[in-house]
Amino acid sequence: MKRIKLSAIAKENLTEDIGNENKLTKEDIQRLHASLKEFSKYGSSIYRENDIRSTIQEFSEIAEMVSKHMVSEQDEWFDKLTLNRHAKQLKDSCGALGKAAKESFNAQHRLEAVFEDASEIIKRYYDVG
């Protein structure tokens, strides 16, 4: 039985794939060049200008002040119970918001890293705007 090397198969498949790819039309090339000129807009979309953590921190401080103010302004026992419950719900919501913001922050960093890797490859071959 004849032995076939894996590297030979891989090389054969690679050359077939490259040869079979469709070439870009003139319109596609023009669109590519136009997109590369505007490449910096993708970076501004990926990199958030506002830090979500500071926004969440400010929101949490506001929610805490609202909770304290709501509870301190009501004197009737029934309303006080309802307001205490709503204050607790607001605190819980702020905790969930902070947790979601942390997850979003971590995902944002992964997104930025992947974008940078892909951008570096594109920049090796093209001048981008």
Does any domain span residue 68? yes
User: Number of structural domains, the chain?
Assistant: 1
Q: Which domain holds residue 125?
A: 50-129
Does any domain span residue 16? no
Does any domain span residue 117? yes
DSSP string, 28-56: HHHHHHHHHHTTHHHHHHHS-SS-HHHHH
Overall average pLDDT of the 41-68 stretch: 78
Does any domain span residue 61? yes
Does any domain span residue 45? no
Is 104 a residue whose pLDDT tops 80?
A: yes
Q: Between vectors from CA 44 to CA 34 and to CA 50, what angle results, nearest 5°?
A: 165
Is 11 a residue whose pLDDT tops 60?
A: no
Overall average pLDDT of the 57-72 stretch: 84
Is 69 a residue whose pLDDT tops 60?
A: yes
Q: What percentage of residues in the chain have a pLDDT greater than 90?
A: 16
Task: Please state the pTM of the whole predicted model.
Answer: 0.58
